[in-house]
């Protein structure tokens, strides 16, 4: 290997020439968000003179230790608040003006890192694109929001969404520097999975679309956001758990990161059944309304979208939830009732009717229909597929393409099915990794599917259309036909797949993928933010 170099706005970086690619790791895109910079939007990194090596990944954002069996052996594990680093894989630092693909990792807004072997960008880059991955602040450090955290020097910045500010800073870095790495700053596609896809939806609601990227891919995630009052309650719970008598910026900034993480875990465990308590917030700054409402109003107009989910998303958690594996009929109805109530849909969805509809649907297509199967199918649709398809149709002025991924994992005798995150090794081509393939499977069929998906993703980045020679026909999604690309052992175009279930849930959901009470409470949240800002709170 020989070193290769690129100029950035802050200094020259040295990467490694690896066969036909150049790889840069650990390039700072923001100053360390520590001390006075904690709970503030990121600042530009300090310039350096001479050359700086970019050979090793930067630290992970502060996060809990991964659960047993969820981390890939050999992945970096060092965590630090000093985490604003990115990585670039390029075919050459040669002014080639190639399409750029910027990936936002998932992890429930509390975990994950761009340094995972799952996200190695080399095989994608060999399709003629420049791949950028990056870390951003997680958990309380990235997604806490409270009026006490509003920056008096920047009154329009809001009172939270620091992780979202980081993501925008990474995109700003790409716009300013990627041409030195052989990329075209005018042809950027942002793509993300799970919380990363939810982040992409939030980015689509900001001023970034068309300015910082022209295309977006959302894998297993759609538009989500907390209202400001809910976010404020979470912040106050964390402050109390950490021993603060009153929540202040100074008090939170003085807490050791480990104590803040401990309080975050305690509070997060209390809210497990209520959904993610760390996520984008409608705080009057970057997000002035729910991302779904912003996109309906045209914030994503002119942006091309690919939106999709995996058939059995919820089965990803079947090993960590013993009660789910042992579910019987009475337990099924009880748990579905709890889900309906937690989603604010009590009185609009009946648990028994929902279970029977899913039983008929699964049996009708020859799928297993035991209680765990029924629960996973319903919650997969409620949480992932229906909100994703709503986004595909609801983004005014955007052209959308839809997919349904149904390759099945061999792990555990096949119990995971086509679970959450399973498409990632096929998008990045890392199903060839012998450790990753234990989860993903592979072989000749898997490699063929990965080639199809890498061609679709990179073709979309280049042309705005995912169809092509390797992929075949992939028409745009329309309300009348709901054209959906099936990606699995069979690759084909489906019309309105699993439509009975989708229509059943869609008819009950409120405008933001949850119940009507969430819509009403958000209206109160927005007014509360405005009132506090007027009062200088």
Cβ atoms 376, 312 nearer than 8 A: yes
3 state SS of 346: strand
Number of C-beta neighbours around residue 257 at 10 A: 16
Q: Which of 81, 193, 237, 313 is catalytic?
A: 313
CA-closest candidate to residue 144, choices 253, 56, 258? 253
Please report where in the chains the tokens 């959450």 appear, as a residue: 420
Answer yes or no: 420 catalytic.
yes
∠ CA 322-325-330, nearest 5°, is 105
Please state, in angstroms and rounded to a whole number, the distance separating the CA atoms of residues 55 and 42: 23
In the numeric block, which tokens belong to residue 159?
Answer: 């009172």
- In angstroms, rounded to a whole number, what is the distance separating the alpha carbons of residues 453 and 429? 9
- Quick check: helix, strand or coil at residue 370? coil
Which residue, among 427, 187, 390, 162, has the nearest Cα to 303 in the 3D structure? 187
Handedness of CA 519, 521, 527, 528 (dihedral sign): negative
By CB atoms closer than 10 A (0-12, 13-18, 19+), residue 151 is middle
Return all residues near 233 (Cβ < 8 A) that are at least 6 apart.
none
Alpha-carbon span 313 to 384, nearest angstrom: 7
* Helix%, strand%, coil% for the chain, nearest 5: 40, 20, 40
CA atoms within 13 A on the CB side of 325: 10
Count CA atoms within 13 Å of residue 482 on its CB side.
Answer: 17
3-state SS assignment for residue 228: helix
Q: Which residues have CB under 8 Å from 353's CB, separation 6+?
A: none
Residue 217 gets the label, from left (phi > 0), alpha (psi -120 to 50) or beta, of: beta
- Grouping H, G, I as helix, E, B as strand and the rest as coil, residue 219 is strand
Q: Decide if 313 is catalytic.
A: yes
Catalytic site residue from 61, 159, 180, 194: 194
- DSSP-assigned states of every residue in 411-468: GGGGTT-S-TTTTHHHHHTGGGSTTHHHHH--HHHHHHHHHHHHHHHHHHHHHS---B
- The catalytic position among 193, 420, 440, 522 is 420
Rounded Cα gap, residues 10 and 27, in angstroms? 10
Question: Is 154 among the catalytic positions?
Answer: no
CA distance 45 to 28: 6
- A 10 A CB-CB count for 248 gives 14
Give the active site residues: 194, 313, 420
């Amino acid at each position: 290997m020989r070193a290769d170099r690129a100029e950035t706005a802050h200094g020259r970086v040295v990467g490694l020439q690896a066969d036909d690619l150049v790889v840069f790791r650990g390039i700072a895109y923001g100053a360390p968000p520590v001390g006075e910079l904690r709970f503030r939007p990121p600042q530009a990194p300090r310039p350096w003179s001479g050359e700086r090596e970019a050979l090793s990944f930067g630290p992970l954002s502060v996060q809990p230790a991964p659960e047993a069996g969820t981390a890939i052996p050999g992945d970096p594990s060092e965590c630090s608040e000093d985490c604003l680093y990115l990585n670039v894989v390029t075919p050459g630092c040669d002014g080639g003006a190639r399409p750029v693909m910027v990936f936002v990792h998932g992890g429930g807004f509390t975990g994950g890192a761009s340094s995972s072997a799952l996200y190695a960008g080399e095989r994608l880059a060999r399709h003629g694109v420049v791949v950028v991955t990056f870390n951003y602040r997680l958990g309380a450090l990235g997604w806490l929001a409270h009026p006490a955290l509003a920056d008096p020097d920047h009154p329009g910045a809001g009172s939270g969404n620091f992780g979202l500010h980081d993501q925008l800073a990474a995109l700003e870095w790409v716009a300013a520097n990627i041409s030195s790495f052989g990329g075209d700053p005018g042809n950027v596609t942002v793509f993300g999975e799970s919380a990363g896809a939810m982040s992409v939806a939030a980015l689509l609601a900001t001023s970034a679309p068309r300015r910082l990227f022209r295309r977006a891919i959302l894998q297993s995630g759609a538009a989500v956001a907390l209202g400001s009052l809910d976010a404020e309650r979470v912040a106050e719970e964390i402050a109390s758990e950490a021993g603060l008598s009153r929540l202040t910026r100074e008090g939170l900034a003085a807490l050791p990161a480990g104590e803040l993480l401990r309080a975050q875990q305690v509070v997060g465990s209390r809210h497990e059944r209520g959904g993610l308590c760390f996520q984008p917030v409608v705080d009057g700054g970057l997000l002035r309304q729910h991302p779904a409402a912003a996109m309906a109003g045209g914030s994503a107009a002119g942006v091309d979208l690919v939106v999709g989910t995996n058939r059995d998303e919820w089965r990803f958690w079947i090993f960590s939830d013993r009660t789910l594996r042992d579910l019987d009929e009475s337990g099924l109805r009880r748990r579905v009732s709890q889900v309906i109530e937690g989603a604010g849909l009590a009185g609009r969805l009946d648990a028994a009717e929902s279970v029977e509809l899913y039983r008929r649907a699964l049996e009708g297509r020859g799928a297993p229909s035991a209680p765990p199967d029924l629960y996973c199918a319903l919650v997969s649709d409620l949480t992932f597929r229906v909100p994703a398809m709503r986004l595909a149709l609801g983004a005014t002025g955007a052209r959308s393409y839809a997919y349904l991924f149904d390759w099945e994992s061999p792990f555990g005798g096949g119990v995971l099915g086509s679970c959450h995150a399973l498409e990632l090794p096929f998008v990045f081509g890392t199903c060839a990794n012998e450790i990753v393939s234990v989860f993903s499977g592979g072989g000749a069929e898997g490699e063929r599917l990965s080639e199809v998906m890498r061609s679709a993703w990179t073709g979309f980045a280049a042309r705005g259309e995912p169809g092509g020679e390797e992929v075949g026909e992939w028409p745009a999604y329309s309300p009348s036909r709901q054209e959906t690309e099936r990606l699995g052992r069979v690759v084909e175009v489906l019309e309105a797949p699993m439509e009975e279930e989708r229509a059943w849930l869609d008819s009950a959901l409120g405008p933001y993928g949850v119940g009507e009470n969430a819509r009403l409470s958000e209206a109160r949240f927005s007014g509360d933010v405005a009132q506090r800002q007027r009062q200088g709170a």
